[in-house]
Amino acid sequence: MSYKIHMMGQNDPRTLYQFDRLYAWKHGFEFAPATVELCTTNACNQNCKYCYAGRTATVCKIQDDILLHCFEQFADAGVGAVIIQGTGEPLLHDLLAQAIENGAKRNLPIWLTTNGVLFSDDLCRRILPFLFCLKISVLENDAERYAKQHGCGKSQWHRLIENIETIVAMRASLNLPFGFTSTVYLTEHNFRHLYHIVKFCKDIGFDFVYISEPSHNTKSLSNEGYASDHMDRNELNDVCAQIMELVDDDFKITFKLHCSGDILTGAGMHTWEKNYCQGIKFYTIVNCDGEVYPCWRYWGNKPYSYGNLYEKSFSEIWQSEQRKQIEKLVMETPPDGDECLVCGHCRLNDLLNGFKKATKWVHFL
Ligand code: SF4
Ligand code: SF4
């Protein structure tokens, strides 16, 4: 593990470092998004309890030629970084390794989020040298709890642990620069094991662990609510304090628990604020059918697509009148239900609105 080598800075106020974009945004100029999230497929080898991807029987995979060349288009448009995740398991697309290599040739920092089970030695060799960061989604230190949480067989946990060991060894032997991180979800079932789960993550070689709780909406496969809301606060505080003793220069932990008010969610029908969703100008989503969407709420909702990469380049789509009209529509339309509760732009929206509301005190540093 080596947080200080691989991940130093990930906790910085990165939105506020977007000087050029913030200037353009403030003055009403056009600018490319800092981040594009790319979904290579909606298929998945797991069926996680907390998944809100709303998977349908129809499998969608982004067209090979589009996947192979979209990174060039993002780079040409001025995009800052690409996160490969989306509504399925990215490694299920056969050409992912080649596409990542193409993206790296254009100097695009690439983050891959995966459940990690489908890595092979060959895929590790082809993908890892070109990554900026690798995130293994939602880890456990016990095969049975993992299988229950991820809706899969216990063999997937064993496979994953072997893969993590391969990844850590390869990073060390080839001196690869990528950061290595994971999420641990606090649940009523793992609370008593939480310290050992995080210690397991440290010992196996992660640089950083994010301890949180899943948000839910009506698309979620199950809704167990936020576990931390029902726990004894003193007991929870004691466990968190014990876990924080694992932190050192090479291994960092962040807690974001609902009971502490750290989990932001998007607006509901009655708490909606017009023009609040400014984050859609800085972060956008490319779906596995080539459609470019503003945010999670509209994922798969074609009338809200900015355009399709099968028909136009990313630059053409981003500079189009259609995108401006859809943005206006998004900013003006309250949600119908709880679809925004899993909003991925929350923190971004929050920071940007804070920035807009700067008071006369702004220059007293
Ligand atoms: S949360 Fe991720 S890994 Fe789990 S079922 Fe959904 S897409 Fe697959
Ligand atoms: S999901 Fe989209 S519309 Fe909903 S709060 Fe987030 S940015 Fe706004």
DSSP of 97-146: HHHHHHHHHTT--EEEEE--TT--HHHHHHHGGG-SEEEE-S--S-HHHH
Nearest to 49 by CA among 162, 236, 189, 163: 189
Ligand closest in space to the Cα of 298: 2
Q: DSSP secondary structure string, 29-72?
A: -----SEEEEE-BS--S---TT--S---SS--B--HHHHHHHHH
Q: Is 280 in the pocket of ligand 2 (CB under 6 A)?
A: yes
> How far is ligand 2, taken at its centre, from the CA of residue 2, in Å?
35
> Tens digits of per-residue pLDDT, 50-104?
888 877 778 999 999 999 999 999 999 999 999 999 899 999 999 999 999 999 9
Q: In this model, does residue 6 exceed pLDDT 80?
A: yes
State the pLDDT at residue 256. 92
pLDDT confidence of residue 60:
93
- What is the reported pLDDT for 1? 64
Mean pLDDT of the chain: 94
Ligand 1 nearest-atom number relative to CA 151: 5
CA of 341 to the centre of ligand 2 (A): 8
Confidence of residue 316 (pLDDT cuts 50, 70, 90): very high
44 alpha carbon – ligand 1 mean position (Å) = 6
Angle at 280 between CA 81 and CA 65, to 5 degrees: 50
The mean pLDDT value for 200-209 works out to: 97
Q: Which atom of ligand 1 is nearest to the CA of 47?
A: 5
* Span from the CA of 325 to the centroid of ligand 1 (angstroms): 32
Contact 126, 94 (CB under 8 A): no
Q: Is the CB of 304 under 6 A from ligand 2?
A: no
Instruction: Kindly give the number of the ligand 2 atom that is closest to the alpha carbon of 330.
Output: 3
For residue 152, the CA-to-ligand 1 centroid distance in Å is 11
- How close is the Cα of 63 to the center of ligand 2, in Å? 27
Q: Which residues pair with 82 in a beta bridge?
A: 36, 110
Structure tokens belonging to residue 160: 């994953």
Nearest to 33 by CA among 307, 284, 329: 284
183 within ligand 1 shell (Cβ under 6 A)? no
Residue nearest (by alpha carbon) to ligand 2 atom 6: 343
Q: Which ligand 2 atom sits nearest the alpha carbon of residue 280?
A: 7
Ligand nearest to the CA of 149: 1
Is the pLDDT assigned to residue 106 strictly greater than 80?
yes
pLDDT given at position 269: 83
- In this predicted structure, the answer to whether residue 290 has a pLDDT above a threshold of 90 is yes
Pairing of strands 291-293, 133-136: unpaired
**Does 216 have pLDDT greater than 90?**
no
Dist. CA 76 → ligand 1 center (Å): 31
User: In this structure, is the dihedral angle defined by the CA atoms of residues 95, 101, 106 and 112, taken in order, positive or negative?
Assistant: positive
User: How many CB atoms are located within 10 Å of the residue 89 CB?
Assistant: 22
- Gap from CA of 93 to ligand 2 centroid (Å): 28
Per-residue model confidence as pLDDT tens digits over 110-141: 999 999 999 999 999 999 999 999 999 999 99
Kindly state the percentage of the chain with pLDDT values over 90. Answer: 78
Q: Which ligand is nearest to the CA of 139?
A: 1
Residue 225 pLDDT class (50, 70, 90 cuts): confident
Question: Residue 200 pLDDT > 80, yes or no?
Answer: yes
10 Å CB burial of residue 241 (0-12, 13-18, 19+) is exposed
Q: What is the pLDDT of residue 358?
A: 86
Is the CB–ligand 1 distance for residue 279 below 6 Å?
no
Pocket residue to mutate for ligand 1, from 49, 50, 51, 221, most atoms within 8 A of Cβ = 51
Please work out whether the CB of residue 136 comes within 6 Å of at least one atom of ligand 1. no
